[in-house]
Amino acid sequence: MNDRYTVISADCHAGADLLDYRPYLESRHHEAFDAWAATYVNPFEDLMAPEADRNWDSDRRIAELEADGIVAEVVFPNTVPPFFPSGSLTAPAPTAEEFELRWAGLRAHNRWLADFCAQAPGRRAGVAQILLGDVDEAVREVRWAKSAGLHGGVTLPGAPPGSGLPELHSRVYDPLWAVCEELEVPVNHHAGTASPPLGDDPASRAVFMVETTWFSHRALWHLLFGGAFHRHPRLRLVLTEQGSGWIPGVLDMLEYYHGRLVRAAPGTAGTLTAEAKFGAGLAETMGRGPKEVWQENCFVGASFMRPHEAPLRHRIGLDKIMWGSDYPHDEGTYPYTREGLRAAYAGLPPGEVAAMVGGNAARVYGFDLDLLDPIAARVGPTAEEISEPLQEPPRDATSPAFAVGGAPRVW
């Protein structure tokens, strides 16, 4: 019996080198791309040489992940696609022409990603990008992504205040939920894509850090109260790189408001008149309550689970948690994934650890464990190794995996 864990990172990032996107654009966009690329300024330190090629060098990537004990990965975007000024899922473009170009850039990334995943068959689940400003185009891209083998699903942009987009609870997005349900495409909502622009002074950066996860969490209650899971009961939502310790408390809060508003609905015995207008029609829109929806439809890409979160695993749902390394980001666990897993999971039952570090991700994203287990038998961390408590973190580790409650652990 294999005593090594099959580790699947549910949160990694990749993208093409800038000029390598050009062949994936329609030729009519090449002139515009050349002009854009000539003035492009890289906004991200982790895209600077000599580490940038971790994003697109397939052989280097496999070697480093295997050295870290990881056999497969869910691949979110990282590099900036053509025609975007910064991150790929910023507020909608200001003009129709630029919006068209940005769609062209996302399609180029998705097509590059399909080829990149094909270089490591069965070991990469690519996550396609879409924009919400054209739902019909988003639906077409989801269908293309599924046919191209990007079984990581789709990354759902946020609709931050000021974006001009309908809120995520709007029924305008029903065609998108419908196609994702039909094709069994996971809808991933990654942290950092839902915050409004705040500026770049010290206060703005601090406020961003305080608020960014809250803005990311909003997708959960928007889809829940908006009835998306009621109308599309097989829709799956994955909340990635938002931590996991917040989930039990938020579910309790959502249950409280749900019960309070449903009880306040007109015609309900004991109606609270002052709140009746808020609860009108909610039960019919939502169907099931928040905790039941969570158990049936939702998952968490817990990059990376911290030691204080592991004791909450049964309240979160042991079958909901998918660990992630956040490779190749500086805050990721590489090259100390084994130590990060020890910090979070030492002393837990091996079957539970196996589910959180790989089994759940295999089920949600369709990885073939018969393919991956033999690789894990060669490179995966052993159950004995992960069961050993971490006495102190590696001295040069930069990952929040080695923190407790948001503060550095006292070792």
**Does residue 1 belong to any structural domain of this protein?**
no
Spatial separation of the C-alpha atoms in residues 14 and 75, rounded to whole Å? 6
Query: Is the Cα torsion angle 154, 208, 218, 239 positive or negative in sign?
Result: positive
Q: How far is CA 192 from the centre of its chain?
A: 10
**Does residue 242 belong to any structural domain of this protein?**
yes
Q: Residue 98 has which token pair? A: 């630029």
**Does residue 248 belong to any structural domain of this protein?**
yes
**Does residue 268 belong to any structural domain of this protein?**
yes
| Number of structural domains in the chain | 1
- Residue 313 sits at the vertex; the CA angle it makes with 398 and 238, to the nearest 5 degrees, is 75
Whole-model pTM: value is 0.94
**Does residue 332 belong to any structural domain of this protein?**
yes
Taking only the tens of pLDDT, the chain with its 411 residues reads 469 999 999 999 999 999 999 999 999 999 999 999 999 887 777 777 788 999 999 999 999 999 999 999 999 999 889 998 765 555 566 788 999 999 999 999 999 999 999 999 999 999 999 999 999 999 999 999 999 999 999 999 988 888 889 999 999 999 999 999 999 999 999 998 888 888 889 999 899 889 989 999 999 999 999 999 999 999 999 999 999 999 999 999 999 999 999 887 776 655 556 777 788 899 999 999 999 999 999 999 999 899 999 999 999 999 999 999 999 999 999 999 999 999 999 999 999 999 999 999 999 999 999 999 999 999 999 999 999 999 999 999 999 998 754 444 434
Residue range(s) defining the domain that contains residue 71:
7-405
Spatial separation of the C-alpha atoms in residues 190 and 28, rounded to whole Å? 32
**Does residue 411 belong to any structural domain of this protein?**
no
Number of C-alpha atoms within 13 angstroms, CB side, residue 349? 6
> 194: domain CATH number?
3.20.20.140
Residues in CB range of 72: below 8 A, 6 or more apart: 8, 9, 122, 123, 124, 125, 358, 361, 367, 372
**Residue environment code for 123-133, b if the CB has 16+ CB neighbours within 10 A, otherwise e:** bbbbbbbbbbb
Query: Other C-beta atoms within 10 Å of 94: how many?
Result: 9
**Does residue 410 belong to any structural domain of this protein?**
no
Residue from 380, 299, 262, 293 nearest 74 by CA = 299
